Amino acid sequence: MEAIAENTAKVDNMIDTKKDVQNNSPESADLSNLETVGIPFSDNAKMSMRDVDVFYGDKQAIHGVGLDIGQNEVLAMIGPSGCGKSTFLRCLNRMNDTIDICKVTGSLQLEGQDIYDPKLDVVPLRARVGMVFQKPNPFPKSIYDNVAYGPRIHGLVSRRAELDEIVETSLQRAGLWNEVKDRLHAPGTGLSGGQQQRLCIARTIAVSPEVILMDEPCSALDPIATAKIEELIAELSENFTIAIVTHSMQQAARVSNRTAYFHLGKLVEVNETEKVFTNPDHSLTEAYITGRFG
Amino acid sequence: MASAPENQKTIELVNQNLAKRYRAEKRFRAYGIASIGFGLLCLLFLFTDIIGKGHTAFLTTYVKLNVELSTDALDIYDVNDPQQIAGADYQGVLKKALRERFPEVTGRRDKRALYGIVSSGAGFEIRTLIEQQPELLNTTLDLWVLADDDYDTYYKSRSSDEGAYTGRFNEKQISWIETLIADGAVEKRLNTTFFNAGDSREPEQAGIRGAIMGSLFTLLVTLALSFPIGVASAVYLEEYAKKNKFTDFIEVNINNLAAVPSIIFGLLGLAIFINFFEMPRSIPLVGGFVLTLMTLPTIIISSRAAIKAVPPSIREAAMGIGASKMQVILHHVLPLAMPGMLTGAIIGMAQALGETAPLLMIGMVAFIVDVPGSISDPSTVLPVQIFLWSDSPERAFVEKTSAAIMVLLGFLIIMNTLAVWLRKRLERRW
Amino acid sequence: MFLGLLVCFEIRQTLTEGFAKRTQRLPKSSDDNQENFWRIMDTSTLIATLALLIAAAYVMGRGRSMELADTSQGGFRNLNSLPFYYGMLTALWCGIPSLFLVGVWMTMDTSVIDMLLIKQLPEEVAAMPKSELGLVLNTIKNLAEGNMLGSAPEPYMAQAADSLKRLTQTSQMAMTVLAICLGMLLAVFSWFRISPEQKARLQVEGAFKAILLACSCLAILTTVGIVFSVIFESMRFFQSVPVSEFVFGLHWSPQMAIRADQVGGSGAFGAIPLFVGTLLISVIALIVAVPTGLMAAIYLSEYATAKVRSIVKPMLEVLAGIPTVVYGFFAALTVAPLIKDSGTSAIDFLNIQFEFLNIQMSISSESALAAGLVMGVMIIPFVSSLSDDVINAVPQSLRDGSLGLGSTQSETIKQVVIPAALPGIVGGVLLAASRAIGETMIVVMAAGLAANLTANPMESVTTVTVQIVTLLVGDQEFDSPKTLSAFALGLMLFIVTLALNYLALHVVRKYREQYD
């Protein structure tokens, strides 16, 4: 049944596409009945979201977003400030729970399991869907303890040697091992901004999650540190499913397989990254990537 | 898909430990709730204890006696001479009335015990009555007179669960009072003495008016000094002071003074005001000086916070049209910061009202019967009165102390409510 | 314009007349405090007079500047400053020097009069040692106030008392006349100086700033006053009792024997039992307050909904607003008997159930436990509001980082929030400790007077603050070690609390800078 419904939706989208391209200029765009164009859904979906609405009190921040994140895919989310891309990302491991007035409706599934099921436990969910934040936020502990924190709280290891191994591999995967192996017990807050962010990534992958959510992970970093993180994302995509929110279109172009464009709380277009940046289906997307607003 | 088995293992491990972790979570929450519960329980216990002990003090026991107010017995020859009326032996008339009420009592010691039923202050009540209505002289009438504190305590505790408190009573005394009670000649009335009188050695004649007036005068001095000085210091530190070693030093001093034990301020007052400047002891003026020094840091700190909350844009706007620094401060900063400063001042005053230790040092613990009339009359203050009464051995003082505490807490609640109200009413959001 | 001056003269005239009447009544009074009472009343009349004078000076200065402005063309615009500033300038010239004079005079006159008096005394009296001379002076002062003495005073004393009376009156009159003359003179002087070119605003603003600065220096003066008064008297104490005996002595019994054969008055000044007692009660208080306050703060800031917090937090803070004397009463009359009764019955129960234990313990009705427990309750809101502040200062991003990894809320709090907030919490605990050590009324009312050297919370101990109060309430002789020892204890208390406060404030400040 579901599959049929999805297919119908796809067909509908295709019909709508033509309409949009013909008569939409960004300034006069009527967003009230906008439908997502492109290919928002995937056959090999790790996470799939349908009709997601998010409210902050009375204010609606996300309007009916439907999107899939494929297995081992890097999905970039772009859009102007305040378009709701970060809010949407934080829904995916229920980080919005920490905000009292935030309410999420619609269906959000991780491998067919409803994330917002009231009976579902957020603790194992977050162990499976990890998150890296905009500003590096290492705990005021040593580098070692930062990385070991996740495995410890989840009880993933029983012996010190196993923990050492996890810490080492995680730091190696995050490309930080060579820089810090001699000072594992120095405070994590003493590292440079880029190193701190890689430490946060190491901390996240130490739990070996299935999905990593990254919320503008490079916005607080300089270009060299950014380049390192981007390389890292490319390597990580072999093992993890990654959803990344970014403000930089170049970054989205460099690291992602697919790109989703958000506008005022709505998902406008999802397509192969190359297509989005060369020949977008929707006029709003085109306006954004050509720099007419943003 | 290299990490699939690894992921599977992770999920299994996470789920294995989950129950244990959630138990820890629950325990942790329970500790938090228990802590809050403990605090609130203590508060409840304290209040019920004080109110339970103190509410009876607002009523006091009166005894009905058939008193013969004959001029002969009172030694009054000339009814029109106020001096004779004032100096007459009213207590003697009461004694006579008691003798007639209990004719079976003989023996000197028993008689003296019998006279103890009425308060030694009861005579003054009759005097006031006669002064107002001289036509009552040479009549015999039923008068309600103030009972002694022992009988008061006995009568109040009679109906309690633990039974009557007999204290120093002997069988006879109990039988007398029981006879009077059976005749309906004992009743409880509103205790006006408690609010109108000064201190006394006799619990039934003791009141808190002297202490309240003393507190009032002390607080007036404190407010008159600490508020202007505190605001001035805050303005200097926020608006004028450059960041240098000297202003740092002032800041460190203020912060430290805010945490210095209050008794140290008492030592300062004793050594400087009393010993060095030879100011008199026990007067509200010196008490006010000491409390000023003590509350000043509180007022400075809250005034600074209020000044800081005034946005710089207001200052810039005023300076932009050519206002001088002093004009900016007097016309804009101070009026806008005033609600916050007043709130701080009220809280400082509430702190000063409850303070006891430094005032003990400067001699405000003297036993003073008269109600003070100015800032240079010897007096005591409400918390010190509580301290003095709580030290008294008479059981009747326990309820008086608790009642005085209720009055003190009442004042504090009013002041704090006022501060909260002021903050809500005048608060400005930028 | 001259009308103003005339009015001013008129006011002064009536005031000084009323003033003179009051001074005439002075010798009649014979009460203990009367002498001082009149001094204060006289001074307040003088200050009221000066206040009127200042107001008049303001009106006149303002008037003159307006007159000057009107005579030339363009009105106020010709003036350097607004008329307000000219008025203020005149008022400041009138007020500040005269008020300053009154202040200095009042602090100095006692010692000057004493000096003059000593010069008049017969030579053999003036040559007496200082302490005896002080006694003689006191007698003379009592005589001058009209207090009856047991025996007839010596003739030279009566004479001196008369001259003291005269001196005091002269001094008071001289001060009044000088202060008022100075005020008027300077007001007139500055009034004549008013001109359109005078930079009145700059001068007034300078004075304004100087006055503000003087006010903020009061904090320093207070600290200096505390340090000097406490150190000065302590030095005198340490002249009769060596520092080492005071700090390391194990026996405290400050009653000095008046007669040689008196029992019990050994006069030992070893303060260790007091330090131990203070420590014992403070530790009990902190054991109650720190975990409770900390957990309450954690629950309120991390778990409780906004509504619960807005109700519970103020209720907990009520505990901090209750005067300490109330806690003292509560501890002495309710908690201490409760502990004694329940403790005694618990021991009886144990002894009956398990005979082999055979506990021999009595519980004092002034147990350290009662005072400590109640003090702990008093400090709970103190600890909780300080911890609340520092916990809220921990950035949300750290919590997000931990929650994002899938830790539970308690794990986040225990392993991330608390360690991050630890310096701040430690600072708060230090401040709470300083508060417990300096707390007076609870221990005065609920703890004992006997200086037992014990660590048993069921026994009665005494504290530094209790001893200070006991030694200083009532009559004091500033030349006996008994009274002076209170100041030495005060010095210890001040040093310890100051060190704790300084350390705590330093730690908290460093902590705040970290997250700013």
Which tens digit of pLDDT belongs to each residue from C160-169? 888 888 888 8
More confident residue, C37 or B372: B372
Lowest mean pLDDT among B176-185, B383-392, C6-15, C314-323: C6-15
CB C87 within 8 A of CB C59: yes
Residue C283, token pair as written in the block: 């530790």
Q: Is B287 exposed, middle or buried (0-12, 13-18, 19+ CB in 10 A)?
A: buried
Contacts of C411 in chain B (CB under 8 A): 21, 24-25
Banded pLDDT at C256 (limits 50, 70, 90): low
B378 sits in the region (left: phi over 0; alpha: psi -120 to 50; else beta) called beta
C87, two tokens: 């008025």
At B428, the pLDDT band (50, 70, 90 cuts) reads low
CB A214 within 8 Å of CB A132: yes
Residue with more model confidence, C233 or C121? C233
Question: Percent of chain A at pLDDT above 90?
Answer: 30
For chain B, domain boundaries: 57-191, 209-426
Give the tens place of pLDDT for each residue, C364-417: 888 899 999 999 999 999 999 999 988 988 988 999 999 988 899 999 999 999
More confident residue, C95 or B319: C95
Nearest residue, CB atoms, A124 vs list B1, B2, B14: B14
pLDDT the model gives residue A12: 43
The predicted pLDDT at position B4 comes to: 60
Q: Residue B289: its pLDDT value, please?
A: 94
Q: Which of B233-247, C142-156, C358-372, C430-444 has the lowest mean pLDDT?
A: C142-156
Architecture of domain B209-426: Orthogonal Bundle (1.10)
Q: What average pLDDT does range C80-105 have in this prediction?
A: 87
Indicate if the pLDDT at residue B361 is higher than 80.
yes
For residue B224, pLDDT beyond 50: yes
Q: Do A155 and B14 touch (CB under 8 A)?
A: yes
A294 CA: distance to closest CA in chain C (Å): 26
pLDDT at C108 > cutoff 90: no
Q: Do B49 and C330 touch (CB under 8 A)?
A: yes
pLDDT band at A4 (very low <50, low <70, confident <90, very high): very low
Average of pLDDT values for B290-314?
91
Q: Does A133 touch chain C (CB under 8 A)?
A: yes
Lowest mean pLDDT among A33-42, B4-13, B85-94, C302-311: B4-13
Nearest to C488 by CA among C263, C273, C241: C241
Using the structure block, give the residue that is written with the tokens 């009555």: B129
HSE of C354, CA atoms in CB hemisphere, 13 A = 5
What pLDDT, on a 0 to 100 scale, did the predictor assign at position B253? Answer: 87
User: Per-residue pLDDT for C142 more than 90?
Assistant: no
Mean pLDDT of chain C: 82
- Higher pLDDT residue, B288 or A3? B288
Tokens of A258: 């697919």
Give the pLDDT band of residue A170 (cuts 50, 70, 90): very high
C274-515 is classed CATH 1.10.3720.10? yes
Instruction: Tell me how far apart the alpha carbons of residues B38 and C368 are, in angstroms, rounded to a whole number.
Output: 21
The answer to whether residues B156 and B65 touch, using CB atoms and an 8 Å cutoff, is no
Which whole number is the average pLDDT over C188-203?
84
CB contact at 8 A, B411 and C321: no
Band (C23; pLDDT cuts 50, 70, 90):
very low
- Check residue A45 and give its pLDDT: 87
Contact flag A139-C402 (C-beta cutoff 8 Å):
yes
How distant, in Å, are the alpha carbons of A164, B234, B238, B323, B392 from that of B308?
Answer: 50, 10, 7, 19, 49
Residues B121-129 have a mean pLDDT of: 85
Give A30's pLDDT tier (boundaries 50, 70, 90).
low
Average pLDDT taken over every residue of chain A: 84
For chain A, give the percent of residues with pLDDT over 70: 88
**H helix or E strand, kind and range, residue C453:** none
Average of per-residue pLDDT across A21-25: 43
pLDDT value, residue C440: 93
A71 to chain B: nearest residue by CA?
Answer: B1
Rounded CA-CA distance A37/C129 in Å is 107
Residues facing A241 on adjacent strands: A211
* C121 compared with C264, residue with greater pLDDT: C121
Q: How confident is the model at residue B281 (pLDDT cuts 50, 70, 90)?
A: confident
Contact B89, B114 (CB under 8 A): no
What mean pLDDT is predicted for residues A120-149?
88
Closest residue on chain B to C465 (Cα): B263
Among C223, C444, C497, select the one facing B261 at the smallest CB separation.
C497
pLDDT > 70: percent of chain C = 84
Q: Which of B77, B73, B189 is nearest to B140 (CA)?
A: B73
Q: According to the model, what pLDDT value does residue A155 have?
A: 83
Q: Are B123 and B85 in contact, with CB atoms under 8 Å apart?
A: no
pLDDT at B303: 94
User: H or E segment at A248?
Assistant: none
B57 touches chain C (CB under 8 A): no
Q: Look up residue B59 and give its two tokens.
A: 């009523």
Q: Does A148 touch chain C if contact means CB atoms closer than 8 Å?
A: no
Q: Which residue type does A50 have?
A: R
Rounded to a whole number, what is the distance in Å from the CA of A92 to chain C's nearest CA?
A: 11
More confident residue, A42 or A77: A77
Q: Provide the β-strand partners of residue A213.
A: A131, A243
pLDDT at C154: 73
Decide which of B30 and C173 is more confident.
B30
Q: Are B375 and B291 in contact (CB under 8 A)?
A: no
In this prediction, residue C147 carries a pLDDT of 63
Domain ranges of chain C: 2-198, 210-248, 274-515
Q: What angle do CA C19, C24, C26 make, to 5 degrees?
A: 100
In order of start, what are the domains of chain A with their CATH numbers?
Answer: 33-289 (3.40.50.300)
Share of chain C above pLDDT 90, in %: 31
Q: Which residue of C has its CA nearest to B415?
A: C321
Are A124 and B13 a contacting pair at CB < 8 A? no
Element (H, E) at A62: strand A59-70
Q: Which chains touch B (3 or more CB pairs under 8 A)?
A: A, C
- How far is it, in rounded angstroms, from Cα B214 to Cα B210? 6
Cα–Cα distance, B270 to B276 (Å, whole number): 8
* pLDDT category of residue C26 using cuts at 50, 70 and 90: very low
pLDDT reading at A28 higher than 60: no
Residue B288 scores a pLDDT above 90? yes
pLDDT at C73: 58
pLDDT at residue C74, rounded to an integer: 59
- Tell me which residue in C404, C415, C419 faces A93 most closely, judged by beta carbons: C404
User: Mean pLDDT across the stretch C25-44?
Assistant: 49
For range B396-408, the mean pLDDT = 93
More confident site: C127 or B240: B240
Residue A294: the pLDDT is 53
Per-residue model confidence (pLDDT) at position C77: 67
Tens digit of pLDDT for each residue in C209-231? Answer: 999 999 988 888 998 999 988 99
CB–CB contact C414 B28 (8 Å):
yes
How confident is the model over A138-158, as pLDDT tens digits? 888 899 999 998 888 888 888
Q: Looking at CA atoms only, how far is residue A238 from chain B in angstroms?
A: 8
Residue carrying structure tokens 């007669």: C259
Rounded mean pLDDT, B388-402: 89
To the nearest whole number, what is the mean pLDDT of chain B? Answer: 87
- What pLDDT, on the 0 to 100 scale, is given for residue A123? 84
Question: Which residues in chain A are closer than 8 Å to C399, comparing Cβ atoms?
Answer: 98
